[in-house]
Amino acid sequence: MKLNELSPAEGSTKARFRVGRGVGSGKGKTGGRGVKGQKSRSGVAINGFEGGQMPIYMRLPKRGFTPRNSKNHAWLNLGILAKAIEAGKLDASAITEESLLAAGVVRRRRDGIRLLAKGEAPAKVNITVTGASKAAIEAIEKAGGRVTLTGLAAEKSDS
């Protein structure tokens, strides 16, 4: 047997059906696509359409909820605050949101800055922020500092 004598077994291969080669071919004129409309054109897929069956994106439950009046605070960890004070970027006696932005400790203010308790609290810090976690307030007060809140938490504690 030689390479030029090799051929597939009889009946194992079939010639490709040539569509659109005249009415007499059996697949002429519309080429088996029916008539007119979007689906008769090439390269068209109607996304999410499942032949009249309820599409999967409508069958699956929707999760989550975002209230319209929710706030998006920039957060600041105690550890990052301590590093900035050690590096001399901030004056520990009077830290405000403006000084945090100017020093580059916080990139964007958003709806205010919220202080979180991750890391060690720096000693004797006076800081004014929109919000703070209870643990962060306790940690700063324990280290001899003071936290002043200007956001909703401050309004609730006043009344």
> What CATH number should be reported for the domain holding residue 137?
3.100.10.10
Q: Note whether 143 and 122 are within 8 A (CB).
A: yes
Q: Note whether 52 and 93 are within 8 A (CB).
A: no
User: Which of the pair, 89 or 155, is modelled with greater confidence?
Assistant: 89
Angle at 156 between CA 151 and CA 159, to 5 degrees: 130
**Structure token digits, residue 122:** 């720096």
The stretch 44-64 carries a mean pLDDT of: 90
- Whether 2 is in a domain gets the answer no
The stretch 138-157 carries a mean pLDDT of: 83
The stretch 123-145 carries a mean pLDDT of: 92
Q: Note whether 113 and 130 are within 8 A (CB).
A: yes
Work out the percent of the chain whose per-residue pLDDT is above 90: 53
Longest dimension (CA), the chain: 99
Residue 32: CB atoms within 10 Å: 12
Q: Which amino acid is at 9?
A: A
- pLDDT of residue 91 exceeding 80, the answer is yes
The mean pLDDT value of the chain amounts to: 89
CA 120/CA 137 separation, integer angstroms: 12
- pLDDT of residue 44 exceeding 90, the answer is no
The structure's pTM equals: 0.56
- Whether 15 is in a domain gets the answer no
- Whether 140 is in a domain gets the answer yes
- pLDDT of residue 158 exceeding 90, the answer is no
CA 120/CA 122 separation, integer angstroms: 6
pLDDT of residue 60: 95
User: Which of the pair, 151 or 117, is modelled with greater confidence?
Assistant: 117
pLDDT of residue 13: 95
Number of domains in the chain: 1
Domain interval for residue 102 = 74-158
The stretch 81-88 carries a mean pLDDT of: 90
Confidence band (pLDDT; 50, 70, 90) for 154? Answer: low
- Whether 95 is in a domain gets the answer yes
Confidence band (pLDDT; 50, 70, 90) for 153? Answer: low
- pLDDT of residue 122 exceeding 70, the answer is yes
